[in-house]
Amino acid sequence: MALCLAFYLLMLKLSFTSAQQLNTLNKACIDGSSYLLQIGVYQDSCPEAEAIIYSWVERALSEDHRLAASLLRLHFHDCFVNASGLQVFQGCGASVLLDDTPSFIGEKTAAPNLNSLRGFEVIDGIKSDLESICPETVSCADILATVARDSVTLVCDVSHFHSPPEECELAVIWSGPGWEVQMGRRDSLTASITAANKNIPGPNSSVATLVTKFQNVDFTLNDMVALSGAHTMGKARCSTFSSRPNVNSNSNSPDINVDFLQSLQQLCSESNSNTTLAHLDLVTPSTFDNQYYVNLISGEGLFSSDQILVTGDDQTREIVESYANNPAIFFEEFKKSMLKMGNLGPLTGEDGETAKTVGLSINFSSSTTPTCNGSVVWAIRFGSFL
């Protein structure tokens, strides 16, 4: 009986939510105001939020330096999914964090994400801390956006590490640019594995495919090349670049750096291609700098999708050259494009949730704390709805 009542109220809540979303959508279409993110959104409701997030990122990076790259990538894989959809606005809605349940398939198992995305435990830890000081206030999507910024800013800031990685000590530039994160996102009630597979570009994409995927969300060539500069840090599995052009068949091409390709082939022939990793930027792998673009010019881009920014299109090549020659321009453009990415289809106002509780993600767990992965106690939300 209780279960029937619960089911009935869930249906009621869902239909209420959809109607509400459509109303908000209409309002937003008319006055364009509902989608504005702002700086300082949690100033009164959760003043310590940014400091807590910062210290979590600091601790995470000191334990596993690669997490700077992994956490930045989480934000990209969150925002790029279904951002151009008409009614189901996901974009930067933290849908990437939702776990599968028996009745729901999320985005974690999409091809670009499976056995690849990392850092979920950091986001869960932050959410849990924030819930204890300001319950149901800070959205997981805002956490992702802030963590991405902090990862870039802290990546090789040696003053924050007890024993900084060797690469950081050698670096000329210690850390990446900082920016004010705009907030006020709410969390998506849904996720789409299909959209994740379709929207997130793959490492063998042609320039035309990359351009189309970025244009689909109104991004310019500059945005595309600047954001690709995130590949200045982090690692990739052999399986993602082992289909690079065969060294022997292309050895006469001026665009091919034979030594580089041979070193990759050797690395990947030695062991399991699903676990062996290569640095995305082999020269300064742990720092956030413009070395990625310098590498592209010397034919040392790890993915085909990196290298073709130089070999596949004159316009993207010009942009690469300008970033390779001037790190300050790259930093400026990267900041701008990150802010733009953070604005992809955010749910705001009455849409979505700040705790992953509604709809497909309910799993009837006995926990009483909202999380970013979708598990939350049903009774709490049930109560607040009434």
Q: Indicate which residues carry an active-site annotation.
A: 77
Position 110 contacts ligand HEM (CB under 6 A): no
Q: By rule CB under 6 A, what count of residues binds ligand HEM?
A: 26
Specify the stretch interacting with ligand HEM by CB under 6 A; choose among 50-58, 154-162, 228-236, 246-254: 228-236
* Distance separating alpha carbons of residues 3 and 378, to the nearest angstrom: 11
- E-strand ranges in the chain read 235-237, 277-279
Position 155 contacts ligand HEM (CB under 6 A): no
- Angle, helices 49-63 vs 120-133, to 10°: value is 150
Query: Taking the CB of residue 352, how many other CB atoms lie within 10 A of it?
Result: 26
Specify the stretch interacting with ligand HEM by CB under 6 A; choose among 18-26, 63-71, 82-90, 159-167: 63-71
Position 279 contacts ligand HEM (CB under 6 A): no
CB of 338 to ligand HEM, least distance (A): 7
Distances (CA, A) of 155 to 59, 278, 285: 11, 18, 11
Unique residue bearing structure tokens 């070193």 = 263
**Residue list 68-87, contact with ligand HEM (CB under 6 A):** 69-70, 72-73, 76
Distances (CA, A) of 363 to 90, 102, 273, 371: 21, 9, 35, 12
Encoded tokens for 114: 């499976």
CB of 235 to ligand HEM, least distance (A): 4
Position 240 contacts ligand HEM (CB under 6 A): yes
Position 335 contacts ligand HEM (CB under 6 A): no
Position 228 contacts ligand HEM (CB under 6 A): yes
Query: Taking the CB of residue 173, how many other CB atoms lie within 10 A of it?
Result: 17
CB of 97 to ligand HEM, least distance (A): 16
Specify the stretch interacting with ligand HEM by CB under 6 A; choose among 96-104, 158-166, 222-230, 257-265: 222-230
Residue number, nearest CB to ligand HEM:
234
Interface residue with ligand HEM, options 93, 165, 201, 374 (CB under 6 A): 201
Encoded tokens for 118: 């990392």
* Bridge partners of residue 25, in order along the sequence: none
Residue 149: name the closest of 58, 67, 72 by CA: 72
Residue number, 230 or 347, with CB nearest to ligand HEM: 230
* Distance separating alpha carbons of residues 154 and 321, to the nearest angstrom: 26
Interface residue with ligand HEM, options 165, 234, 301, 374 (CB under 6 A): 234
Unique residue bearing structure tokens 């001037």 = 326
Position 66 contacts ligand HEM (CB under 6 A): yes
CB-based contacts of 315: which residues, under 8 Å, 6+ apart? 221
Is there a contact between 143 and 122 (Cβ–Cβ < 8 Å)? Answer: no
* Bridge partners of residue 104, in order along the sequence: 101
Position 116 contacts ligand HEM (CB under 6 A): yes
Specify the stretch interacting with ligand HEM by CB under 6 A; choose among 201-209, 293-301, 351-359, 367-375: 201-209
Interface residue with ligand HEM, options 135, 203, 349, 359 (CB under 6 A): 203
CB of 278 to ligand HEM, least distance (A): 9
* Distance separating alpha carbons of residues 314 and 318, to the nearest angstrom: 6
* Distance separating alpha carbons of residues 372 and 139, to the nearest angstrom: 8
Position 346 contacts ligand HEM (CB under 6 A): no
* Distance separating alpha carbons of residues 111 and 358, to the nearest angstrom: 26
**Residue list 284-313, contact with ligand HEM (CB under 6 A):** 303, 305
CB of 331 to ligand HEM, least distance (A): 14
| Binding region for ligand HEM (CB under 6 A) | 66, 69-70, 72-73, 76, 116, 118, 201-203, 205, 210, 227-228, 230-231, 233-237, 240, 280, 303, 305
